[in-house]
Structure 1
Amino acid sequence: MGAEDVRGRRGRGALARLIALLAVAVTLVGCATIPESSEPEAVGPRGDGRRVAQPAPPPRNADPLTLVRRYVEASADPEGGHAAAKAYLTRRAKGNWRDDSSVWILAREFDTVYTGDRDGGRSEDQVRVLLRGKWKGRLVRDNAFLPESGDFEVPIRLEKEDGEWRLAEAPDGIVVTIDGFNENYTPVPVHFLNPRRNTLVADLRYVQTQPASAQPNTVVDMLLRGPSAALRDSVRSAIPDGVRTRSNVAEGTDGAMLVNLSDLGQQTPQSRQLIVAQIVLSLEKVTNTRIKVLSENVPVVPEQPDWRRADIAPFVPDTAPNPELRGMAVVGGRLRSLFRGDAVKGPAANYDVVSAAQSVDGGRLAAVVRSASGGVALRVGGVEEALSEATQPVGQMTRPTWMPPGDKGATEVWTVTEGATVLSVSANGQGGWSSRQVNAAELTNNGPITDLRLSRDGVRLAAVVGGRLFLGSVVDNGGEVSVRNVRKVLPDVLNTVTSVDWQGPNTVIAGSSSNATPVVRVTVDGREWKLYNASNLTPPVAAVTAAPNRQVVVADSRGLWTTVDDTEVWRVHDSNVAQAGAIPFYPG
């Protein structure tokens, strides 16, 4: 960050000296009326979203506090390399400023105050301002949102240039409010592959809203650069390293979106289809036209040059349980249907169950069952079959959670024993089940785990640790399974969490013991959260279950409640399992 020397005034003759004296007098009067601080205000979206060729200039005769506030507002507009924000900098600062290092995102309310004293920090032509607010997060270089919390403070030095205050030292990167960010950036899932199943996994990124015509090129560029830091160890790409586009991704004369890649090398037919699938699904949110995927001007899949979303259906995992699988509930130690309320079929109906989980395909059950010794053990098996004991009895065990099924159906389920040991229990190929410990130190170092849910695509997990919500990724290198890239989500809001479940691949639902935030929906990156209507609920919310295209069901201190979205009032669940102590669960 550079500083520009204050320019001296030169005059010739008495008239010039008189003009200079008058200019100094006016400046001193202006300094005497500079306010000490600005009132916090909620800054909402500005303008109607239309772009103009030239950004609006800074307001004339603005005091330093106002100028810094307007600089933050202007910074939200990314057009022209943040030309609107650059207009607030001195000429020297413009040359030193890097707007591409990061985007710092603040809560809606922030303020500006002077720092230093009148002899040091403040003078006729120089002043320091402290920009203060609350962190929301950062948009990092890979265009992923990284949540942050706590206080945000950054000092900014201003100088007079041509009679107007300008920023002489601005922090590298962009400082915006969450409203400004939401107005100018849109979320786009970029798709990579689950290495164990060759199915597509969404990696949430953000692209500039305008110009819309540039979005496809940006999305493909992000895809070629690889997964974000949060998923880098958990997913892979079928596109070889070093592959680039030969031309901009844009709509051709035939109306199709053209993606022309450099040489892909030797690829199997399946790899070529996976490459196309990644590109087509990643572009789904930014174009509605058909897509041509080429390599060196030749179709990647020779027999099919044009692609649409329906053509890649085999590679898109069905994370939504079959509609016929209505869910189950543990009621008074017994497994019952969540839909009808009657007992489940088979031997599982007779176990003394603490908690349970049904696999996504509906074929298997995992149940935490009370043992004769007084502890609990995990039993696993077919839905209508006797469940085999898969672990030794322990004192405590979280409700189970299934990995997505593979070619042989559901073969892996996770749980946590004694709040500290994460176990992966897998079919051993001999009709039984064996367990191994997951390296989850990044998670367990934060406290006792009381709930853990795998995403239905199998690459992420959500956990309640010490009453707070954590998200992480699952890494399986073929030898060791571990939990990586763990991050705390909304610690200022969610600090009494009791239960969590996945509503979709990019969204979780959390229940808590708080009267203020009993049920909350949170995006997987923590950028956005919505509070569900609290009417009719009586916390604590002991259990939550959610799934794509399903009503959310929660268990509070009085029974089971359900709702279709965050604006609706909770209604009593219409089955006869809606009683206090019931634990509902959808497949997953």
Structure 2
Amino acid sequence: MSVRSFVARLPLARRAKRAAASAGVLVSEIRAVALAAWRRSLQLRVVVSTLALSTAVSLVLGLVLQTQIADRLLQGKFDAAIAQAESARVISERDLSGVDPDREGAQGTLNNALDQLTNQSTADAAGAPTAGEFRAALTTGTGSGPEISAGNLDDVSPEQRQTVANGALSTQYTTVDGIPTLVVGQPVRTAGRELQLYLMFPLDAEQRTLGLVQSTLIVGGLVLILLLAGIASLVTRQVVRPVRQAAEVAERFAEGHLDERMPVHGEDEVARLFESYNEMASSIQTQIRQLEEFGALQRRFTSDVSHELRTPLTTVRMAADILYASRDELLPALRRSSELLVTELDRFETLLGDLLEISRLDAGVAELGTDRLDMRHVVSRAVEAVRGLAEESGTSLVLDLPGDVYAEVDSRRVERIVRNLVANAIDHGEGRPVHVTLAGDEHAVAVVVRDHGVGLRPGEAGLVFNRFWRAEESRARRSGGSGLGLSDQPGGRPAARRLAAGVGRAGPRLGLPADPAPHRGGPARIQPAAAAARGRRPGHRAPAPGVGSHPAVGHADPDRAARRGVRGGRRRRRARRTGRPGPAGGPVTRRLLLILAALLALATGCASVPGESSVQVLRKVTEGDSPDIPAGPVEGTNPLDLVRGFVYASGSTVDRHGAARRFLTQEASQGWDDGDSLTVLDEQFDTVYPPTSSTDPDTATVRIRGDRVGSLDPLGAFEPAEAPVEIDVTVRRADGQWRIDRLPAGVLVRLSDFRTNFRTVKGYFVDPARRATVADLRYLPAVPAQALPSRTVDMLLTGPSPALQDAAESVVPPSARLRTNVTESPDGALIVDLTQVGDLDEARRRLIAAQFVQTLAEINVPRVRLLVDGAPLLAGRPDLTADDVAGAGASVQPGADVPALVVTGGRVRALPGGEPLNGQAGNGSFDIASAATTPDGARIAAVARDGGRVRLLVGPTDGMLEAVSLSGSSLSRPTWTPTGGEVWTVLGGGPGAVVARVTVDQTGVVRTGQVNVSALTALGPLTDLRLSRDGMRVAAVVDGGLVTGAVVRAADGDVAVRNVRRLRPSDLSDVVGVDWRADESLIVVTARSDRPVSLVSSDGLTLQLVPGSNLTPPLKAVTAASSRPFLVADQGGIWSYDGGELDSWRQVLGAAPDGVPLYPG
């Protein structure tokens, strides 16, 4: 900034400073006016106090009311939202129980599920009371695979997503587009990864309701406050009006209107007060008149005496002067007498002059003869007049007389007053120094006489002007005064009284105006120069310079003092006596205002709809998903219902089936082995009495009759085994209540109860040939949830299930044990510390890490701290996540750029559209009946018709095909291993069918061999077979049923299918095609019209019917892949299905009655 611009800004700064000063003065004046009104108006104070207190009470009551209303309103919304979310979770799990989010088409499935939830919200809003409308969102959990979402998740915080990923039901308040919103999140179980379901409930209706309540309370509170203020004003007016009348009467009475009386109306307290005042006024008036008469007599006596004594005193003075003049001629005794006579005559003349002066003052005819004089000379003469007295008493006189202090004064009277003041100081100073100080300015002059005596006792200051009064009778009197000196101060007795205010221990002070014209009322006051330089506060009065803390002598504005009158003087004296400020003293008022401000701030900040909050975890869904522990037997129940209730309660695994044990006698409970086996029953079962039963009326036998779906072995693996079940139990009546007394070992659980109380967990083991991980389905108790990680680790250490026996292995050494319990670290990592693992190479360590991390990810463990004897299993990487082992899996899915294909019209075509492939597979060189490509789509194996026989062709998908030395009457659709180096097909079909295995090395050399499928053919004719995408399992159509088995590869190269199991024979009959949807689930098509398409787990536990109302049976073929739509072939062509109950099959290729769809693999 240049100097010129800086200087140019100075006037602006000065103007701003002046404006600020003016504003400050205005604020001070307004404050002074307000304080004055507050001090002077009782009615104002009462009304304001009533307003303040009623406002405080209204705020407190309003705050309590709106807080209660808001809490009830939000709690009702919260409870309804939790119930609605629970209902939505149940519906979602029902719709998505057979859905794998990793399969193609899962996006449409999630969208359909959201649509159904929205429909439910709309239906509920029109019916039973619910939480109202909401928005929903679904997304995949923390398992492996890409994230798939439906709905808007932008409003869900990462913290809440993390809590839901950890299996918790959580809530959080947030603001969406300016609207407070309650977000409820919880996990949803599916056939694959867990999903996260979020419901977002807008709270705008609650906000509006609360706003209406608040506005109603505010309006009502304001109306109430105004009514109370009006009532207070009316009431106080009735009280204040008589008080004001009394004050006016008292003021007039004090001004001398002694005939003024207060009007008396009624007989209340005010009337009695007025009567008492009138009586007091009459008494005072009488006494004043008596005193006035007595004073008149005194004044007349004084005047008469002073006048009558003048003539004889003159005669005596003349005679005394003659005697005094000839005293030298008299005898010594007479000479001394003449001297004493003259001295006493002088005193007598002085006394007579004082009496005459007092008479003139009392009569009001005395006049001041003023001249402009230098006050130093006046004070000096007064001091010199008493210096002899000071020398006699040993008192030193200290003068402080500045130069040129002029004032218009009556020098004679002022000199007399100063002389009297100094003489009194000498008399009462006890020989100590007396300081006389003179000061003045352009307005006034002050004379201060300071002595160091004991001063006056309280109440004696007002007596010093009484005639002939002495402070202490015993005190020696040196000045020889008459006792009238201070009573004849100029200005009369009122002025003398004001001078008395300056008398005290420090000594008296006399203040005189420099110009007497505007100061007829009495002494003026001097403002120190320092105070003048600082500026004067409104109403502030500073002491004279050099006076210290002396009180004021008088007022510079006598008219203002006169206006304030006796009432102001009394109020000031009362304040000085009590030491308390007046009504505007303010601490209570300020505290009240602070309390009101705090209440107002609290009222505006509380009882509102929350816009933001932290995540609140309500419970673990894995803990709360299982139903509450079933109740015990109902009192008075019969044996049949008792046993049925026992089966229902057996689903709860808490406390070693503690709910079921309540149905047993104490002896039976102690002897029941619930860990022997677990049998899963179909939903429908009966409890009946067998034909022969006990004749004892207190003993009975009840038979449980149902259909077994399968059983759960101690390793947590499900073994399908459909068969009728009949189990007899004995019940006994004791104390009038039936209880089960004898029952076989093991537990019977309905399928629905099993799925509710057990959690599906995929354990990961290793393909010994490929050294990659493969999944193994297991079922572990869902509660207590805190035990789930430990159970999962124990399951992993026991090795693969019987379904993968000899096909997969665990690379964790058999000797391995847990060094410590499985725990969670403070930072959220699951600590698994192994011991006794022996020497491990790096490759094996990586596979062990993959087994543990992938398995624990299935139960929502995002991070595993895998240790061996306290040290990280993988050097430098103590904590591992699913992303760290993502490439360890054996399952290979077709790439997104590899299209689905269809064989129709003897050619291989792409879907959708039906365009033929390039090369011999699509150009018509061969009459192709079925085909399969490798997972990467690079190679193709095709079954071509050649006369009455078929043969297998292998080659590049878009190139030349080479015939394999393999032909027969029939070949099933080929199926490739995940590596693309081996293709299988069923040759011949029927009882003598074999499975041919064709290997193709990197150079294209083709070799043929066979797979040992004797375990399959032992069950019946083999017509079709599909390899899983991890290459560890097969799904085969055997004798019209669905059979699965494990692929066992021997060290010598032999390959066999072992551990075969028939899945759901009663439900899955007339099977015509099967394919793997995922490693743990299959899609099956049958020739049955009631169940054309079904989804079934690889162990047969779950079975779900896929809607097929718009398909034309019989169906002929099916194909599936993860994250891809199902494709089936019927009489009309190729149909696609994305999944979800609301979806329908969509035709992607018509006019293809011989079509066979296929995905790579």
| TM-score, normalised by the number of residues in structure 2 | 0.45
- 1:505 maps to what in 2? 1079
* Superposed counterparts of 1:358-373, under 5 Å: 358-371=933-946
- 2:819 maps to what in 1? 246
- 1:74 maps to what in 2? 649
Give the distance between the partners of 1:145 and 1:131, measured in 2 at CA. Answer: 22
Quote how far apart the aligned CAs of 1:56 are. Answer: 3.7
Which amino acid in 2 is paired with 1:94?
A: S
Deviations 1:482-531 (A, max 9, x none): 11111111111111110001111111100111110111111111111111
2:987 matched to 1:417?
yes
- 2:926 maps to what in 1? 351
Select the residue among 669, 679, 696 that pairs with 1:123. Answer: 696
Give the distance between the partners of 1:454 and 1:202, measured in 2 at CA. Answer: 15
SS at match of 2:935: coil
Give the distance between the partners of 2:664 and 2:1146, measured in 1 at CA. Answer: 58
Q: Flag the structure with higher strand content.
A: 1
User: Is contact 2:830-2:864 (8 Å) kept?
Assistant: yes
2:1108 matched to 1:534?
yes
Give the distance between the partners of 1:562 and 1:423, measured in 2 at CA. Answer: 31
SS at match of 2:983: strand
- 2:686 maps to what in 1? 111
Give the distance between the partners of 1:383 and 1:326, measured in 2 at CA. Answer: 12
- 2:772 maps to what in 1? 199
Deviations 1:184-203 (A, max 9, x none): 01101000011111111110
Give the distance between the partners of 1:228 and 1:295, measured in 2 at CA. Answer: 25
Q: Which is worse superposed, 274-283 or 143-152?
A: 143-152
User: Is contact 2:767-2:890 (8 Å) kept?
Assistant: no
- 1:583 maps to what in 2? 1156
Which amino acid in 2 is paired with 1:267?
A: L
Give the distance between the partners of 2:928 and 2:1139, measured in 1 at CA. Answer: 30
User: Is contact 1:531-1:566 (8 Å) kept?
Assistant: no
Q: Flag the structure with higher helix content.
A: 2
2:782 matched to 1:212?
no
* Superposed counterparts of 1:412-451, under 5 Å: 412-419=982-989, 420-427=993-1000, 431-451=1004-1024
Quote how far apart the aligned CAs of 1:247 are. Answer: 2.1
- 1:97 maps to what in 2? 672
- 2:1069 maps to what in 1? 495
Quote how far apart the aligned CAs of 1:465 are. Answer: 1.3
- 2:965 maps to what in 1? 391
Quote how far apart the aligned CAs of 1:467 are. Answer: 1.2
- 1:29 maps to what in 2? none
RMSD over aligned Cα atoms: 1.8
- 1:161 maps to what in 2? 734
Give the distance between the partners of 1:476 and 1:48, measured in 2 at CA. Answer: 44
> Structure 2, unaligned stretches of length 5 or more?
1-622
Quote how far apart the aligned CAs of 1:116 are. Answer: 4.3
Quote how far apart the aligned CAs of 1:229 are. Answer: 0.4
2:911 matched to 1:338?
yes
Q: Which is worse superposed, 223-232 or 436-445?
A: 436-445
Q: After TM superposition, which residue ranges in structure 1, 4 or more long, deviate above 6 angstroms?
A: none
SS at match of 2:752: helix
Select the residue among 1010, 1028, 1040 that pairs with 1:467. Answer: 1040
- 1:326 maps to what in 2? 899
* Superposed counterparts of 1:2-13, under 5 Å: none
Give the distance between the partners of 1:218 and 1:122, measured in 2 at CA. Answer: 47
Q: Which is worse superposed, 334-343 or 492-501?
A: 334-343
2:945 matched to 1:375?
no
Give the distance between the partners of 2:686 and 2:952, measured in 1 at CA. Answer: 54
- 1:484 maps to what in 2? 1058
2:640 matched to 1:65?
yes
- 2:1125 maps to what in 1? 551
Which amino acid in 1 is paired with 2:988?
A: E
Q: Classify 1:116/1:518 alpha carbon distance in 2 versus 1 (closer, same or farther; 3 Å).
A: closer
Identity of aligned residues (%): 39
2:845 matched to 1:272?
yes
Quote how far apart the aligned CAs of 1:208 are. Answer: 1.1
User: Is contact 1:243-1:262 (8 Å) kept?
Assistant: yes
Deviations 1:281-312 (A, max 9, x none): 00012134311000111111121001111000
SS at match of 1:197: coil
Quote how far apart the aligned CAs of 1:430 are. Answer: 6.1
Quote how far apart the aligned CAs of 1:250 are. Answer: 2.2
Give the distance between the partners of 2:1012 and 2:1155, measured in 1 at CA. Answer: 32
Quote how far apart the aligned CAs of 1:335 are. Answer: 1.1
- 2:879 maps to what in 1? 306
Give the distance between the partners of 1:62 and 1:49, measured in 2 at CA. Answer: 28
Q: Classify 1:578/1:571 alpha carbon distance in 2 versus 1 (closer, same or farther; 3 Å).
A: farther
Q: Classify 1:425/1:452 alpha carbon distance in 2 versus 1 (closer, same or farther; 3 Å).
A: same
Give the distance between the partners of 1:351 and 1:253, measured in 2 at CA. Answer: 66
User: Is contact 1:129-1:157 (8 Å) kept?
Assistant: yes
Which amino acid in 1 is paired with 2:770?
A: R
Give the distance between the partners of 1:499 and 1:451, measured in 2 at CA. Answer: 7
User: Is contact 2:626-2:756 (8 Å) kept?
Assistant: no
SS at match of 2:647: helix
| TM-score, normalised by the number of residues in structure 1 | 0.88
Is the radius of gyration larger for structure 1 or structure 2?
2
Quote how far apart the aligned CAs of 1:566 are. Answer: 4.5
Deviations 1:217-275 (A, max 9, x none): 11110000000000011101110112111222221222211111112111111111110
User: Is contact 1:319-1:504 (8 Å) kept?
Assistant: no
Q: Classify 1:395/1:94 alpha carbon distance in 2 versus 1 (closer, same or farther; 3 Å).
A: same
Give the distance between the partners of 2:842 and 2:975, measured in 1 at CA. Answer: 34
Give the distance between the partners of 1:252 and 1:289, measured in 2 at CA. Answer: 13
Quote how far apart the aligned CAs of 1:152 are. Answer: 1.4
Which amino acid in 1 is paired with 2:1067?
A: V
SS at match of 1:154: strand
User: Is contact 1:535-1:569 (8 Å) kept?
Assistant: no
User: Is contact 1:379-1:391 (8 Å) kept?
Assistant: no
Which amino acid in 2 is paired with 1:137?
A: G
SS at match of 2:802: coil
